[in-house]
Amino acid sequence: MSKIQYIFQAGSLYREFRERRMRFGVNLPQLTQDGVSIHKVDFVSNNYSCLLREDQDVVDNIQFPYMLFLPEGNKQFDEVIIILNGLNESEYRKFFPWAASFAASGIPTIIFPIAFLINRRPKGWFIPEEVGKKLSVRRNLEGNSTCTSYNVILSERLHEHPERFFLAGLQTYNDMIDLVNTLYCGEYRVWREDRTFSPFTKGTRVHFLGYSLGGYLALILFLGVGDNPILSQGKLIIFCSGAAINSHDPDLNANPISPLILDRNASERLIEFYKQGKNFPHMEKVEALMFKAVFLSDQSILGPNLERLKKRIRIIGSGNDKVIP
């Protein structure tokens, strides 16, 4: 495989696309620059029944646009990379240059948002006056720290109902299966100019690049359906992800306390909820079993499955990462 040149300067392109083209239900022309054609694609999730009843009516989480990056031209492709974001991401900005770089090198790329993150979160959650009130409440909780306007919404939601963490993952897991099925079966359609076209051949190989939370989710997907024909030819890169929450060495545990992710009380509540392994919902589902195995590092389940998949998975860490050591 030829070396991929990283596109560092994609800021103006990102602003143009985000501000003018990310509208659900509106067919807009693609944006083309430097050999890359960027399309807005609409998605409707049919997998929200697993959510808490009060979360099932969040329309932005059910119907939303995402980004597809194609090498410029009219040819069909037989592979695609799907990028999955991290916890509490609010924008596509971080992943935009990654996707543009892959597409410029000839590899189509999708950036797909995890449930209740990026543009699957309603704008009404972020009215400044309301955020300020919630922040004041969080800062006054006994023992709490690392409270910011950026992490206050997710902190409140997960502190109130930590099961939301898994349920959002379960919805996204099933959204991924639906998307991969559409790609593999040759049924994927994209709007271009005044008509739709199919950029992918039947039997398209689907690869994943999972960052942080997205890495956990992509790994769980491969553990669950990696041998299914829709994913059997796919490969996975896990980036800054995969740490357990119950290691005897606390320095090796995932630690989501961060001004950009969760405050202290929400993080401790979340980890305590899952750490004992008794509160995992939907344990009759294989994806719930794999979720539990990954976050609690259950080697009786992970060992044989990772051995089977090891030639298809690459893990990239960072020595400076305090969230996923």
Percentage, residues of the chain above pLDDT 70:
95
Q: What are 114-125's pLDDT values in tens digits?
A: 999 999 999 899
Q: What are 254-292's pLDDT values in tens digits?
A: 999 999 999 999 999 999 988 877 666 777 788 888 998
* Structure token digits, residue 113: 């948002």
Q: What are 159-173's pLDDT values in tens digits?
A: 999 999 999 999 999
pTM score: 0.94
Tell the burial category of 70 from Cβ atoms under 10 Å away from its Cβ (0-12, 13-18, 19+): buried
CB-facing half-sphere around the CA of 34: CA atoms within 13 A: 16
Q: Give me the mean pLDDT over the 67-89 stretch.
A: 95
Please check the confidence at residue 25 and state whether its pLDDT lies above 80.
Answer: yes
Torsion of CA 115, 81, 231, 309, to 10 degrees: -100
Q: Give me the mean pLDDT over the 94-104 stretch.
A: 93
The pLDDT of residue 283: 74
| CATH 3.40.50, domain 11-316, yes or no | yes
Please check the confidence at residue 8 and state whether its pLDDT lies above 60.
Answer: no
The pLDDT of residue 9: 64
The pLDDT of residue 23: 86
CB–CB of 244/295 below 8 Å?
A: yes
Please check the confidence at residue 221 and state whether its pLDDT lies above 80.
Answer: yes
